[in-house]
A = this chain, B = another copy of it.
Amino acid sequence: MPPTDSMFLLGETREHPLHVGGLQLFELPEGAGPDHIIELHRDLLSHADIRPLFRRRPRSPLGTPGQWAWANDDNLDLEYHVRLSALPRPGRVRELLELVSRLHGSLLDRHRPLWECHLIEGLEDNRYAVYTKAHHALLDGVSALRLLEDTLSTDPADRGVRPPWSPRVRTDATAPPPHREPEPFAGLVSAANLARDLLGLGPAVLRYVNQAFQEQSATLPHETPKSILNVPITGARRFAAQGWPLTRIRAVGAAAGATVNDVMLAMCAGALRTYLLELGALPDKPLVAAVPISLREGDGVGGNAVGIILCTLATDLDDPAARLAAITASMQRGKDFYRGMTPLQVTALSAIPFTPLALSLLPGAAKITPPAFNLLISNVPGPAEPLYWNGARMTGVYPVSIPYEGQALNITVTSYAGTLEFGLTGCRRSVPRLQRLLTFLEDSLAAMEKTIL
């Protein structure tokens, strides 16, 4: 096992599960009977031909404690991994989020391949949900989202769609892979891999990363404040999710000269300001977000590079328009900073968004003075067209991510068929009433619309 994989196994504790997840919502296809989901579950269990990735389980060789190797699980117990669950009445999104919070808080069994897939019935409005989780040692969040999408089809009539763990049989081997996002998405995946390889190189490179990171901090207007989000975390999780129409976000962006990403950050900024104000815990200095960005050819850096920008959230400002303007300017300064860097520097910085924990784990690693940022906010581009799974239209897809020690809240968004989908994952103890952030996100967008449009 590469050291970067085993790092995620060694670094995991009961308080700190290191798996990523995804929540998908589906509309039942027309004419689906009451046993549709049971039949779907049975059908999934019949795909006993499992991709090697989904058969790998960690093995700790005798006599070398602290070392992990990958082994093949030849006795894979598919019924263990693919589970049928139900929501208590009335089966609102609230009950769904409660269940996903619980499922995301429990550790994966290391005696088995490190993944679970939960089919969830009992959701109101003729829908069902799928929550999938996989260990970070197996898949990073971006690859996991990508894999989920690969099992979907743009064709509602396509009933031959196979589960993610089953090798996809392509009838036409020469056809291009369907609905694949071009540059940015591929970039994120490759960069995640690159970053992991890089970490394998050890402390010298990490010191280099650290230095570059500190340099960028100098572009910020203030020092990063301490906040209630930057505390030790416990094992239980709270998850909240909701989508907003991209048309609303684009309209604000167009009027203010900001990108979709800037407006998304401003939504988070406004929501966090209200949330922390309500708890009496808003720091005087503005919060700082770490924001991964894809750096394409046009930006002056080549290839599959991902950078991380330290961006002010301007939570000290009351005016939504001023806040968005400050965020837009901060993101621009971050991009300018990258433009002046060598490719190695960019690559080194790419490590950060995917491995904040890894940095503090590697022996001898130079630690970034905490808190370098208050929370990680990622935007992972997703498919533009509606997708179907065995005829069921996917109506939403939300990333369920990993809070880290000292980083009790993670916000990851993804785009899908005209919607920007927010997934908020927090430590249940450190981030109370996480669900309220959804209301505040809406309030924050509405306030920008009112002020700017």
A-side residues, CB < 8 A to B, are 14-15, 34-35, 37-38, 77, 80, 83-89, 95, 99, 102, 105-107, 109-112, 121-122, 234-236, 428-429
Contact = CB atoms under 8 A, between A and B. Distances in A.
A430 to B, nearest CB: 10
Contact of A236 (B14, B86, B109, B236): B109
Given A15-B111, A89-B121, 18 more contacts: A14-B109, A37-B88, A38-B89, A80-B236, A84-B88, A84-B95, A85-B88, A85-B99, A86-B87, A86-B88, A88-B122, A105-B109, A106-B106, A106-B107, A107-B107, A109-B236, A111-B429, A112-B234
B428 A89 contact: no
29 contacts: A14-B107, A14-B110, A34-B89, A35-B89, A37-B89, A38-B88, A38-B89, A77-B429, A80-B236, A80-B428, A83-B102, A84-B88, A84-B95, A85-B88, A85-B99, A86-B86, A86-B87, A86-B89, A86-B122, A88-B121, A89-B121, A105-B109, A106-B106, A109-B234, A109-B235, A111-B235, A111-B429, A112-B234, A122-B122
Nearest to A85: B88
Contacts of A38: 88-89
Contacts of A236: 80, 109, 111-112
A38 B234 CA distance: 28
A406 to B, nearest CB: 16
A77 B38 CA distance: 34
Contacts of A89: 34-35, 37-38, 86, 121
